[in-house]
Amino acid sequence: MSEHKNPYPGENNTGHFWDDEQDVRELNNRPPRWYMQAMMVGVVAIVIYSFYYPSIPWFGDHYKGAAGWTQITEMDESVAELKAYREKRFAATEQAIADSSLEDIVRDDELRTYSIKTARTLFADNCAACHGAAGQGNAGFPVLADDDWLFGGSLAKIEQTIINGRKGNMPARMLGITDAEAAKLATFLIETGKGAQGNPNPADKVLYLTKGCIACHGPTMKGNQMLGSANLSDSIYRFKAEDQHASVVRTILHGVNNPIDPLTQDAVMPAFGHSSVIDAVQLKKLVVYVHQLGGGVPVGPAPKKAVAVLKNLKYTPVVAKSDLFADVIATAEANYKKNLDQKAAWRDTAKIIKNAKKSKDVALATAANTQAVNALRQASIAASASPSF
């Protein structure tokens, strides 16, 4: 450090050198003009930004900004925009659902898929608390995603269930059944439900037959969908419990929805059709959704419509250029000529044309043309029918 001599005199450096060769050094130049200008623009932008948007913190609150902007209002606006977009984008589909029968919705790929997708949230909001997020059921609430139905899995039955609600009824202690008999009967039912693996005591079947169970659950124990009485011949329990035997005994002794018995099994499906919770279109979507969850009674193909033939007319009629008399009468004459060519003319078409020409009446000319077009349709159908002669 003996030098103290600047090897670059007049260079406007600060005299600091960073290496032994003294060529890496610190200069003292002004920053470039563009850089300074950009910085000034930045400073101005900060002032405008702080004025326009919420900024300076101030004793537990902050300056709210001239624009009134908040993240919440921005989100609300985006949500409203999205909602408006959806309403516009899907208005036609929503209308089609409103206009279609449940069967037609299920048959139509687009309407069915759209219903299922949009019903998912409806189901989560209104049904999942009881029936489980995927319709898998909960203790006391039936599974909707299988083909074991209390009240029926056709579209019409599911619709009725959701509109009117359901409330199955089973009396308590049928025909004075005793606790011991109830326990035996429960074992018999559970063993029967196991099918080939089960080991029911045939002697106990007498209880089933003589204690009135048969009236509602039927001779084959399969239940009755008119009553919503459960199928007792399978191992699917509508009142599923850890101790299934105890639960079945409870059902037998205390019944279902028995208003005077505090131990009765509760089973009330609320009615959604008479509330404002879901509208008519949402109801249809939910019916289709539950039907498609699994186990819905299949929907057959649409009935064939007879109009198909008319679409492919063999002899196409001429169409009038306008409603003016001259055009209509010319069209009627052209179609009538086609009738004659096909030997399909109706007897009085010629007469009507003649009268129309005399009176210059557009209505008459139109009537003549309609008749000629109809005659052509007949000729077309006759020609496409088989066998042809």
- Residue closer to ligand HEC (CB basis): 122 or 352: 122
Give least dist CB 318 to ligand HEC, A.
55
Query: Minimum distance between the CB of residue 99 and ligand HEC, rounded to whole angstroms?
Result: 22
- Cβ neighbors of 25 (< 8 A, separation 6 or more) are 8, 13, 14, 16, 17, 18
Least gap, CB of 299 to ligand HEC (angstroms): 16
Rounded to a whole number of angstroms, the minimum distance from the CB of residue 76 to ligand HEC is 28
What does the alpha-carbon distance between residue 378 and residue 324 come to, in Å, rounded to a whole number? 27
Q: Which is nearer to ligand HEC, 210 or 384 (CB)?
A: 210
User: Which C-beta is closer to ligand HEC: that of 252 or that of 379?
Assistant: 252
Q: In this complex, which beta carbon is closest to ligand HEC, that of residue 21 or of residue 243?
A: 243
Written as six digits, the tokens of 60 are 């537990």
Task: Give the nearest distance from C-beta 154 to ligand HEC in angstroms.
Answer: 10
Residues lying near ligand HEC in the complex (CB under 6 A): 126-127, 129-131, 141-142, 144, 149-152, 158, 161-162, 166-171, 174, 177, 185, 189, 211-213, 215-217, 227-230, 232, 237-239, 248, 251-252, 256, 267-270, 272, 286, 290
CA 152, 153, 154, 160 torsion-angle sign:
positive
CB burial of residue 368 (10 Å; 0-12, 13-18, 19+): buried
CA–CA dist 164, 274 (Å, integer)? 8
Residue with tokens 């606006």: 77
In angstroms, give the least distance from the CB of 48 to ligand HEC. 53
Q: Which is nearer to ligand HEC, 204 or 361 (CB)?
A: 204
Give me the numbers of helices (H) and strands (E) for the chain, helices first please. Answer: 15, 6
DSSP state of 229: B
The string over 273-299, giving b where at least 16 C-beta atoms fall within 10 Å of a residue's C-beta and e elsewhere, is eeeeebeeebbbbbbbbbbbbebbeeb
Nearer residue to ligand HEC within complex by CB, 179 or 323 = 179
